[in-house]
Amino acid sequence: MRIVYTTGILLSLIMFSCQEKVKEEVNKTAAEIKDAVIVHEEYTKPEPTEPEGTEYYEPKVPVVGPATNGRIPSDAIVLFDGSSFDGWMHTEDSTAVKWNVNKDGSMTVADKTGNIRTKQEFGSVQLHIEWRSPLPVQREGQNRANSGVFLNGIYEIQVLDNNDNDTYVNGQVGSIYKQGPPLAMASVPTGEWNVYDIIYHAPEFNADGGKTKSATVTVMHNGVVIQDHTEIKGTTPYIGWPKNPAHGKGPLMLQDHGDDSRVSYRNIWVREL
């Protein structure tokens, strides 16, 4: 009886150990690079006396084609390639996009048709997007070529023609709308193409819907850092405080401000982080 009992315990221990090993292997893949760094940064060990003691070769870093000279990274998801609105829809009613595709491979807001969004949804991303304020210049302040890039579909990075056009600083070009002014105003002259390169980390929520970690955003505007790992305090409404509804992945959304903004976009791609 005792032998049977002991054998049972031994078998359970072996099975548990096997399951743990499988789990370990799965987790290892995702955490491999990070773990390797930690392991190799155990500075409490005796200090190596040879250069090889602080060098390691595994795991290999993935190879990604570069985003220079008009190329896009080899692992990027192209959201707009200049040919059609496949992959996009109107936010309000999910209908086909009524904005205009131009012969030069860009798109332009069609006034009062509504915001548009990608069908695909994302969490944390590296986003590249180019935009242009139109000539001739029309209107003043927030009504001059106003659009916006909404991360996760709800957090607006402002797009505005701010050239010789003052407005509230937490709503100027490159701001997290009504929250965080940019560190610099780095727009090109009106009529030329601007570039936003954005690194966005999505917020985290617990099971009860409470926010446990704020979203953050870094924005390079034409190569100039204008948001430096800035905390996003919540949604970016026109009126009122930021709100923090729990959410998962969301679309990239572009704004139709409804006042003949004539803003154009092109070369939009993301890499999921």
Q: What pairs with residue 268 in β-bridges?
A: 80
Q: 273: number of CA atoms within 13 Å, CB side?
A: 12
Q: How far apart are CA 269 and CA 49, in angstroms?
A: 46
Task: Establish if 174 lies at the interface with Mg ion (CB under 5 A).
Answer: no
Pick the piece of the chain touching Mg ion (CB under 5 A) from 57-65, 181-189, 236-244, 254-262: 254-262
Within 10 angstroms of residue 86's Cβ, the number of other Cβ atoms is 10
Nearer to Mg ion, 5 or 238 (CB): 238
The H or E element that residue 60 is part of is none
Nearer to Mg ion, 148 or 182 (CB): 148
Nearer to Mg ion, 230 or 255 (CB): 255
CB of residue 145 to Mg ion, shortest distance in Å: 10
Pick the piece of the chain touching Mg ion (CB under 5 A) from 5-13, 96-104, 110-118, 141-149: 141-149
Counting residues that bind Mg ion (by CB under 5 A) gives 3
Closest CA to 197 of 223, 161, 236: 223
Pick the piece of the chain touching Mg ion (CB under 5 A) from 99-107, 124-132, 142-150, 205-213: 142-150
CB of residue 150 to Mg ion, shortest distance in Å: 9
Nearer to Mg ion, 115 or 230 (CB): 115
By DSSP bridging, strand 224-232 and strand 215-221 are antiparallel
Nearer to Mg ion, 76 or 108 (CB): 108
Q: How far apart are CA 79 and CA 268, in angstroms?
A: 5
Task: Establish if 179 lies at the interface with Mg ion (CB under 5 A).
Answer: no
Task: Establish if 115 lies at the interface with Mg ion (CB under 5 A).
Answer: no
CB of residue 171 to Mg ion, shortest distance in Å: 8
Q: Which of 79, 115, 133, 148 binds Mg ion (CB under 5 A)?
A: 148
CB of residue 101 to Mg ion, shortest distance in Å: 21
Q: Which of 91, 106, 133, 146 binds Mg ion (CB under 5 A)?
A: 146
CB of residue 167 to Mg ion, shortest distance in Å: 11
Closest CA to 218 of 242, 201, 204, 243: 201
Which residue number places its CB atom closest to Mg ion?
148
Q: How far apart are CA 116 and CA 251, in angstroms?
A: 10
The C-alpha R_g of the chain, in whole angstroms, comes to 24
Produce one character per residue of 4-14: b if its CB has 16 or more CB atoms within 10 Å, e if not.
Answer: eeeeeeeeeee
Mapping DSSP to helix (H, G, I), strand (E, B) and coil, where does residue 199 land?
A: strand
Nearer to Mg ion, 171 or 203 (CB): 171
Question: 């099971």: which residue's tokens?
Answer: 207
Task: Establish if 171 lies at the interface with Mg ion (CB under 5 A).
Answer: no
Nearer to Mg ion, 115 or 267 (CB): 115
Nearer to Mg ion, 250 or 256 (CB): 256
Q: How far apart are CA 15 and CA 11, in angstroms?
A: 6
Closest CA to 196 of 230, 222, 160: 222
Query: Which residue ranges make up the site for Mg ion (CB under 5 A)?
Result: 146, 148, 255
